[in-house]
Structure 1
């Protein structure tokens, strides 16, 4: 099958491309910068330059394509807004997919998007789901709620570097999943006819609060976390302030999403029937414990080889060049 992966340089998209190639698919990737996407070519994927926000670049990318997996989303540092990429760009893509007669379309939404109409990214995901439902495409919607990969920069690295870990509001239990496992569901959605025109949660084996993740990181790293709690009111104030400036609108939208993470409402869903329908083994899904265990084991071994702790202790023991004053 000829497959187009959109957003293939992202955290999730690259795993989708890797999984598809491993399964023997002929993979084409729509990319904005071919230099940054060179690793995809090395893996065996075909690169085609294009942009969701430039509708005329999409038809050439879809020539000969039988299925599309859309894993694209805007980033906080992007010059384009969430509305431009995640709404206008996705509408362009869906229209182009329909015009090209593509057989299957896989879209990544967010779990419980319909419950947060005041959060831009969640509302846009919900609107895209509704837009898809109005088409005659053979689509499947997958709804993850958090990537394990994001926990490294959020918790693991600050704890290792003795920096503060920020927690906002009431801790929300989130069923994080490894993007490698999410990618497996995307590929299986292409192969299982019963997934057509349906939506499915794609979440981890259990939901974790921030405090539980921090405790696990402390246990695995042998280091104590410095926790800084951000009042929810401060987040709201920052969001209102950043909305006034065009160059900080993406930051404002991300801060709105932070309120979801601080709401205390669990992001989790039952998965037994989903595993059964997709023909995947739950026992082979990565647990958060094993994911973080592997990370800390690898990074602590590397730090030991580099003598990081030894050098750090030397710095602490270094005496001041100034003589102690005598009284």
Structure 2
């Protein structure tokens, strides 16, 4: 079986590539810039240039493809909008997949996408789920809610560097999951017939509020966080202002998503039946405690080594005799 991974250079996509290769699948990656994806080629994947926003580039990439794992999404810093990538691009990809006779399509959506019609990314995910279900493909939809990897830049690094940690509104408890574990579900779906034409939540072992994550980071780092709270009304004002400028549309759409994260309602779902269907062991799923503990142990060790080398160099410099003329 040959898999096409879309969004392969992203936080989740690269883990899907790694997992699929480890399990013996042939992997092809659709990439906009092959030069920035050389690490995927070094892993053993095939690279093919293409762009969701240019439908003519998709059919050549789909030649000989059995299944697609679609991890692509627009980024806040992209020049392309969420609609262009997550709707127009996905519609083009699904249509091209159907025309090419692709047998399986794994799509990553979001938990509770149907409950937030005013949030562009959530509404587009919901519409894509419906479009995929009507496309007569053997699809599997995995509904996610948050990556542990994103917490490093959001909480861990600011706390280590003594920078402000921003909290908005009433923090929503979120069942964050390691992208390596999400990749397990995505790749396993290809070999489990019971996942065909089904939708599953794929979330972490428990929910965590912002305050709980900060407390965990403080304990593991030995440093106190500088917490700054941003009123939700200020974010709404910023979003309205940014909508006046085309360059600000992506950021404005992302700010709309922060309201989902700041309304106090948990983002979670029961996973017992999901593990049974996929045949995976829940005890092997990474917990947020172990993920953060490993990160801080590694980074603090590195900081100690750097401090040691710095002190060692300084001692050598002070011990040198200054030459002088008699």
TM-score range, shorter chain: over 0.9
1:53-98 CA deviation, whole Å, 9 max, x = no partner? 0000000000000000000001011000000000000000000000
* Structure 1 residue matching 2:36: 3-state secondary structure: coil
Residue 135 of structure 1: how far off its partner (Å): 1.4
Q: Is the contact made by 1:87 and 1:124 (CA closer than 8 Å) also made in structure 2?
A: yes
Residue in 2 that maps onto 1:79 = 79
Q: Is the contact made by 1:121 and 1:253 (CA closer than 8 Å) also made in structure 2?
A: yes
Residue in 2 that maps onto 1:289 = 289
Alpha-carbon distance between aligned partners in 1 of 2:22 and 2:176, rounded to the nearest angstrom: 24
Residue in 1 that maps onto 2:29 = 29
Residue in 2 that maps onto 1:216 = 216
Alpha-carbon distance between aligned partners in 1 of 2:78 and 2:309, rounded to the nearest angstrom: 37
Residue in 2 that maps onto 1:199 = 199
Alpha-carbon distance between aligned partners in 2 of 1:310 and 1:211, rounded to the nearest angstrom: 35
Residue in 2 that maps onto 1:183 = 183
Q: Is the contact made by 1:303 and 1:309 (CA closer than 8 Å) also made in structure 2?
A: no
After TM superposition, the structure 1 = structure 2 runs for residues 260-271 of structure 1, keeping only pairs within 5 Å, are: 260-271=260-271
Question: Cα RMSD between the aligned structures?
Answer: 1.3
Alpha-carbon distance between aligned partners in 1 of 2:77 and 2:125, rounded to the nearest angstrom: 20
Residue in 2 that maps onto 1:227 = 227
User: Which structure 1 residue ranges, 5 or more long, are not aligned?
Assistant: 315-327
Alpha-carbon distance between aligned partners in 2 of 1:309 and 1:301, rounded to the nearest angstrom: 12
1:11-33 CA deviation, whole Å, 9 max, x = no partner? 00000000000000000000000
Alpha-carbon distance between aligned partners in 1 of 2:134 and 2:23, rounded to the nearest angstrom: 31
Alpha-carbon distance between aligned partners in 2 of 1:83 and 1:29, rounded to the nearest angstrom: 22
**Are the structure 2 counterparts of residues 229 and 310 from structure 1 closer, same or farther at C-alpha, using a change threshold of 3 Å?**
farther
Residue 263 of structure 1: how far off its partner (Å): 0.8
Alpha-carbon distance between aligned partners in 2 of 1:82 and 1:213, rounded to the nearest angstrom: 29
TM-score by length of 2: 0.94
Alpha-carbon distance between aligned partners in 2 of 1:9 and 1:208, rounded to the nearest angstrom: 27
Residue 308 of structure 1: how far off its partner (Å): 8.2
Q: Is the contact made by 1:8 and 1:17 (CA closer than 8 Å) also made in structure 2?
A: yes
1:209-263 CA deviation, whole Å, 9 max, x = no partner? 0000000000000000000000000010000010100001000001000111001
After TM superposition, the structure 1 = structure 2 runs for residues 151-190 of structure 1, keeping only pairs within 5 Å, are: 151-190=151-190
Residue 142 of structure 1: how far off its partner (Å): 0.2
Alpha-carbon distance between aligned partners in 2 of 1:241 and 1:305, rounded to the nearest angstrom: 46
Residue in 1 that maps onto 2:321 = none
Aligned length: 312
Alpha-carbon distance between aligned partners in 2 of 1:236 and 1:198, rounded to the nearest angstrom: 36
Residue in 2 that maps onto 1:103 = 103
* Structure 1 residue matching 2:216: 3-state secondary structure: helix
After TM superposition, the structure 1 = structure 2 runs for residues 7-156 of structure 1, keeping only pairs within 5 Å, are: 7-156=7-156
TM-score by length of 1: 0.94
Alpha-carbon distance between aligned partners in 2 of 1:309 and 1:229, rounded to the nearest angstrom: 38
Residue 310 of structure 1: how far off its partner (Å): 8.2
* Structure 2 residue matching 1:106: 3-state secondary structure: strand
Residue in 2 that maps onto 1:258 = 258
Alpha-carbon distance between aligned partners in 1 of 2:243 and 2:255, rounded to the nearest angstrom: 10
User: Which structure 2 residue ranges, 5 or more long, are not aligned?
Assistant: 315-326
